[in-house]
Amino acid sequence: MYLIALFPARHYDIDNFPAIKEYLENAEWDNEIPRGHGKLVLEQTGKTHIVEGKKIKSRKPTSNKWFEIQDSIGYWDDFSKQKIVWADIATEPTFVLMNEHTFFNNTCYMITGAPTGLVDILNSKLVGWYFPKIATDIGNGGARYFKQFVELLQIPKTIENRNYTDQEVFDIYRLSEEEIGFIESQ
């Protein structure tokens, strides 16, 4: 029901959250870990422990506290903002504007602070035609919509907070009728 995300940047004192501390220490989140040994798994030392005959490996070494997430996520508050979100594998552009507080894993990416019209640009026929030419092809018409490929898209600075049609996108990029016809025939 809930995601426990204790970010190092927030400088939490775990003793202020006794129920969460007990839950993590007792390893209630994993039936394979002997009760009371959750801290060994969560410590960030990279060590291996033998507990009740079971091998327990802790997380990779970091300077974070045992109860914190491994990597410092300075952008944690961006999940609370309006954002454009997309999946990293798709057969066509699937960018969506999200207003609500939404968390997701590493199979999605996000852009915050962009004008809402950017969604229409990213989902346009033009980007749908162009993107597979710059991204990793996964076959069957699919592409990896990794952040580094999305960043290669040349987005005009004049995008506004409004909706754009495909024709308006073609006009923004000053495509000729021949170029538009070619893209639409693909």
Q: Quick check: 96 and 76 in contact, CB under 8 A?
A: no
Half-sphere exposure of 3 (CA within 13 A, CB side): 8
Same domain for 167 and 84: yes
> Does residue 117 share a domain with residue 60?
no
pTM recorded for the entire structure: 0.70
Same domain, 14 and 29: yes
Statement to judge: residues 171 and 156 lie in one domain: yes
Residue 60 and residue 4 in one domain? yes
Could you tell me if 159 and 176 lie in one domain?
Answer: yes
pLDDT of residue 54: 87
Question: Are 129 and 39 found together in one domain?
Answer: no
Residue type, 104: F
pLDDT tens sequence for the chain (186 residues): 677 778 888 889 999 999 999 999 999 888 888 889 999 999 999 999 998 888 989 999 999 999 998 876 777 788 889 999 999 888 889 999 998 788 888 889 999 999 999 999 999 999 999 988 888 878 777 788 888 999 999 998 889 999 999 999 999 999 999 999 999 998
Same domain flag for 38 and 103: no
Note whether 54 and 100 are same-domain residues.
Answer: no
One domain, residues 107 and 61: no
Q: What angle do CA 7, 71, 12 make, to 5 degrees?
A: 20
Domain residues for 133?
77-185
